[in-house]
Chains A and B, each alone.
Chain A
């Protein structure tokens, strides 16, 4: 055995173990600051098939359960949207962008708190576009997962406020979810979440059209 091997053999054996241990120990930062606070636990779903999703959330009154079944329709490029009063709003055109729409059919106990939902589109390259009320250019509901005119109960955030109960939400309803994206953005997934880290990840059925 040469001097080099004799001198370094134990180090060579230990090296991968030490490197592995270092990665393992160093990953506490990812666990502490990322895993719990980002969407890292997907519940997989596919457009056209109803999927059940549940999560445990917390508000000022304590913890509560969210349980619902979601079925996503086809995802298409949209030119207009009809609001709760049946009025049609045309999306303004902006060069280099498109507006995508997916209809979600949701079934849930009317007493379940569903407002406060977040939605994001993910394209085939992993780029994300988040749902906002304003970017489409027409008034959209704050929460994309409940009907604008019948949101049902909301979470107690501890601010107090008026005690007027929200209009009762039907057990099953359909809501359009609208995103304005870059023109080359082709949706692949729609992610719905009420908290982190659990979320519903729906594989979309995209119809790009003409």
Chain B
């Protein structure tokens, strides 16, 4: 009897899986439709807000460029305002469509200071996403490029003049150290007293310190990492490995070339992983953070089990279950031990760690909300978001036709104009798609998931009572 039931069960599971895929594809189309409606309803506000962000960014970059003539450190402090301006505009744009979202409650009833606090609290997580997409690197690259270009043009090289250092890298070490220490203390203080969420001014300061941190220290760390990697590649042992691999490939002939191509393809695929998966997911997570305060049921630690159930629910491996239980036990033991340490000491010792983890706690919560909605809808949405990001290609071609050929040097100088238009179009599409996606998948489906979970747990409780 059981042999007849098993294929039926398999067929039911397959049917359910196909229904799930069909539902998510349909959901993705619904999201695109909703996004189009949001765009039609709000485009003037969205375009104005995003252009205001671009204007503030340009002002920050121009101001920093001029300031760098007298104070490289001052310019580094102000250049951090450029990414902040873009991020504030993104958050405001996401909030602007709130009245038209069907399932996220409108914050009309929320008082103004609370709304500003929401904006402030979303700044830091959004900066991480902004940096992950390379926009932050683009801001600093443009500033450095402009200062060097200006020095190159204004220095009379024939007369033996030399270019002045106008960036962070050219500042005296004690000044650099002092700025980093002040930024660290501010960062810690803002975290310690939870000031960022109290009002906009503190939130803005927190965002600025974070941007400054990312612009200076993170840049130095990444440059240092490149240096370390170059050093590693330059070691004799590593050279032998590389040369050995090249020898193997050459000995294998056409087969070796095939292996080499396959390996390159895999590495490229891994390199594209952030573009294909991480960046769209990060955008969605940030959307969840921005609308997070309006979502009815914030995810809790217990949601982790539900998430696990949704992701790996079909895997019923005893060893995995045992490992999971052991990990839970170890975490509980660690928490118990930590409680024995006096509260004040615990806070001070853990401050450097929590200072970093708190930055991403909001993003983590956002991701948790995403995973609650299910894996298939997320993958479908990632594809839609990638298409939106690549809408820039169409716009770029259109701009190319409108602008026509021009002097390459003038083209380089005025390239920031078309770049702003491209960025405006793609960001506009991303904002409405994210808003529609959060509305559709995170709120509506999240509620359905909650309902299903409670039904399941109710059923389990009933069966437990029956047994």
A: which residues have CB within 8 A of B?
4, 7-8, 11-12, 14-15, 18-19, 21-23, 25-26, 28-30, 32-34, 36-38, 58, 60, 157-159
Contacts and interface: CB of A to CB of B under 8 A. Distances in A.
A175 B65 CA distance: 45
Contacts of B48: 11, 14-15, 18
B254 interface: no
A74 B78 CA distance: 57
A36 B414 CA distance: 15
A8 B44 contact: yes
A11 B149 contact: no
Nearest to B49: A11
B44 A11 contact: yes
B159 interface: yes
11 contacts: A7-B99, A8-B43, A11-B49, A12-B44, A18-B48, A18-B51, A22-B51, A25-B55, A29-B413, A30-B414, A33-B146
Contacts of B410: 30, 34, 38
A29 B45 contact: no
> Binding site of B, secondary structure by majority: helix, strand, loop or mixed?
helix
A23 B149 contact: no
Contact of B414 (A8, A14, A25, A29): A29
B153 A18 contact: no
B250 interface: no
A158 B150 CA distance: 22
Closest 4 CB pairs of A and B: A11-B44, A8-B44, A11-B48, A11-B45
A157 B42 contact: no
A4 to B, nearest CB: 7
A34 B65 CA distance: 16
Contacts of A60: 158-159
Contacts of A157: 158-159
B158 A19 contact: no
A26 B44 contact: no
Contacts of A33: 146, 149-150, 153, 413
Per DSSP, chain A at the interface is helix
Given A14-B48, A158-B159, A158-B160, A26 B416 contact: yes
Interface of B: 41-45, 47-49, 51-52, 54-55, 58-59, 62, 65, 99, 146, 149-150, 153, 156, 158-160, 409-410, 413-414, 416-417, 420
Contact of A22 (B54, B149, B158, B414): B54
A11 B47 contact: yes
A113 to B, nearest CB: 15
B417 to A, nearest CB: 6
Contacts of A8: 42-45
B153 A37 contact: yes
A15 B47 contact: yes
**By CB atoms of chain B within 10 A, which of A19, A32, A34 has the most?**
A32
A11 B96 CA distance: 11
B150 A32 contact: yes
A19 B160 CA distance: 43
A22 B279 CA distance: 28
A158 B158 contact: yes
Contacts of A38: 409-410
A26 B52 contact: no
A26 B417 contact: yes
Nearest to A21: B55
Given A30-B413, A33-B149, A18 B41 contact: no
B178 to A, nearest CB: 30
Nearest to A30: B413
Contacts of A58: 156
A69 B98 CA distance: 69
B16 to A, nearest CB: 41
A26 to B, nearest CB: 5
Contacts of A29: 146, 413-414, 416
B413 A34 contact: yes
Contacts of A25: 55, 58-59, 62
